[in-house]
Amino acid sequence: MKGSDLRIRRKAQQLGSSTLAVSVPAEWAQYHDLTKGDELIVQRDENGNSLLVTPDQPAVEDVETTINADAMSTDALSRAVITQYVLGRGLIRIEAAEALDPQNYDAVLEAERRLMGLGIVEETTNHITVRCSVDPDDFDLPTLLGRLGRTEATIRSSAVSALLDGDADAARRARNRGSQLEKLFSLFLRLVFTTYRNPRLNQAVGIGTGFPLIGYRSAAQDVSLMAGIADDIATIATERVTEPLDDPVADDVRSVHDALDTAAEKVRKAVIDPDYELVTDARTSLQRVEDHSTAAIDRLEKERPEPLLALNRVHFLLERSARHAGDTLDVATHLAFRESPDVVRQDST
């Protein structure tokens, strides 16, 4: 459908004594090959204020998107491929007016390396076509969110261990693990956008319609941000901490990290299994992170061990990570209220 047709006014028509009917746009009906008698699925949003109408069997096309390589730098071309992947495109064609240069080809290979299920299916001197073989039925968002969280926890634990030991090589290995999380996160976003366009996939990806899809997107973003913070800690361990930390200092870092690790896992479980008791337990665990962090920072200010600035930075980063976990807990809280009518009841006024 054309962009100008995205918002169309329709009048409700009376059918019988108690039924109202609204026509659908002709182009939309033609696109989905709808005829008289075909079934449509009508879904309402969380508050019952809006209705979403989809065909029972929506049209599924292996949509091809074309990217003009002549108009982009190497980095921009790689990002463009990744963006089209995230938006759910099945085929992505990269073309040049004359011939693709080696940098263009390298950019496509870089995007292929960073994305799951993407591969080159056709190649000539002036174009490359890549296809994504990921099917929404192959994954579900709760499982992917768990994998994202465990990957972030592994990166963070490895970075903190390298910091405690003053092991720059281990810190570099921790940083290298970030590429796997990027793959999972891009795949997660692809499933979110694909499901948003075709709500019938909600059951396939393992969540309900409306807010859960938005909430899962937010939770995954928080995990990605936490992974970025873990990478910053690994960078500090690589560049600024060259010797093992003294025991009291190491114990403080370890206590904050362990509390964060426990809290982050409980927060993810509360999102995946919305339950008010799990939310309350996760909130208590996050409070423990804050308590350990406050005690550790107070000790740094009193004893001022070296490298002081690096250690302050590490504790600041762990606090930031805990705040992102707190943002995810807000999502879990909303989901728990949504799933627990005995906790919150809505009455019309």
Residue 80 in domain: yes
pLDDT digits (tens, 9 = 90+) for 106-117: 999 999 999 999
**Does 46 have pLDDT greater than 60?**
no
SS3 80: helix
Residue 345 in domain: no
Q: What are phi and psi of 42, to 5 degrees?
A: -115, 120
pLDDT digits (tens, 9 = 90+) for 151-208: 999 999 999 999 999 999 999 999 999 999 999 999 999 988 887 766 666 554 446 5
Q: Let me know whether 26 and 147 are in one domain.
A: no
Residue 346 in domain: no
Question: Any idea of the CA torsion for 297, 302, 305, 306, to the nearest 10 degrees?
Answer: 80
- Residue 145 neighbours by CB under 8 Å, 6+ apart: 188, 216, 219, 220, 223, 268, 271, 272
Give the per-residue pLDDT at 18.
Answer: 75
Q: Let me know whether 229 and 295 are in one domain.
A: yes
Q: Let me know whether 281 and 145 are in one domain.
A: yes
Q: Let me know whether 86 and 145 are in one domain.
A: no
Of the two residues 148 and 62, the one the predictor is more confident about is: 148
Residue 347 in domain: no
Give the per-residue pLDDT at 349.
Answer: 47
Q: Let me know whether 22 and 78 are in one domain.
A: no
Query: What is the average per-residue pLDDT within 13-26?
Result: 80
Residue 283 in domain: yes
Strands (E), 175-240: none
Does the pTM exceed 0.75?
yes
Tokens in use for 292? 């350990």
Least trusted range by pLDDT, from 25-29, 89-93, 323-327: 25-29
Q: Let me know whether 48 and 83 are in one domain.
A: no
* Distance of alpha carbon 46 from alpha carbon 132, whole angstroms: 32
Give me the number of domains the chain comprises: 3
Q: Let me know whether 80 and 124 are in one domain.
A: yes
Q: Let me know whether 26 and 114 are in one domain.
A: no
Residue 35 in domain: yes
Residue 344 in domain: no
The radius of gyration of the chain from alpha carbons, rounded to an integer in Å, stands at 25
Angle made by CA atoms 97, 86, 73, in degrees to the nearest 5: 35
Residue 240: pLDDT band with limits 50, 70, 90: very high
User: What percent of the chain shows pLDDT beyond 90?
Assistant: 64
**Does 338 have pLDDT greater than 90?**
no
Residue 98 in domain: yes
SS3 40: strand
Q: Let me know whether 176 and 249 are in one domain.
A: yes
User: What percent of the chain shows pLDDT beyond 70?
Assistant: 86
Give the per-residue pLDDT at 288.
Answer: 98
Tokens in use for 61? 């096309």
Tell me if 134 sits within 8 A of 115, measured CB to CB: no
Domain of 79: which CATH number?
A: 3.30.110
Of 89, 116, 132, the last residue of a domain is 132
Q: Let me know whether 211 and 244 are in one domain.
A: yes
pLDDT digits (tens, 9 = 90+) for 110-144: 999 999 999 999 999 999 999 998 877 778 889 99
Residue 47: pLDDT band with limits 50, 70, 90: low
* Domain, as residue range, for 176: 139-339
Tell me if 190 sits within 8 A of 134, measured CB to CB: yes
Candidates 122, 66, 121, 131; CA nearest to 95 is 66
Query: What is the average per-residue pLDDT within 88-96?
Result: 93
Of the two residues 90 and 205, the one the predictor is more confident about is: 90
Residue 348: pLDDT band with limits 50, 70, 90: very low
Q: Let me know whether 318 and 188 are in one domain.
A: yes
Question: Any idea of the CA torsion for 155, 159, 161, 162, to the nearest 10 degrees?
Answer: 130
Query: What is the average per-residue pLDDT within 274-290?
Result: 96
Domain of 29: which CATH number?
A: 2.10.260
* Distance of alpha carbon 190 from alpha carbon 229, whole angstroms: 23
pLDDT digits (tens, 9 = 90+) for 242-272: 899 999 999 999 999 999 999 999 999 999 9
Q: Let me know whether 192 and 157 are in one domain.
A: yes
Of 76, 110, 132, the last residue of a domain is 132
Give the per-residue pLDDT at 49.
Answer: 59
Q: What are phi and psi of 341, to 5 degrees?
A: -60, -20
Tell me if 195 sits within 8 A of 220, measured CB to CB: no
Candidates 260, 256, 236; CA nearest to 310 is 236
Of 55, 73, 94, the last residue of a domain is 55
Q: What are phi and psi of 242, to 5 degrees?
A: -105, -10
**Does 149 have pLDDT greater than 90?**
yes
SS3 120: strand
SS3 121: strand
* Distance of alpha carbon 94 from alpha carbon 83, whole angstroms: 13
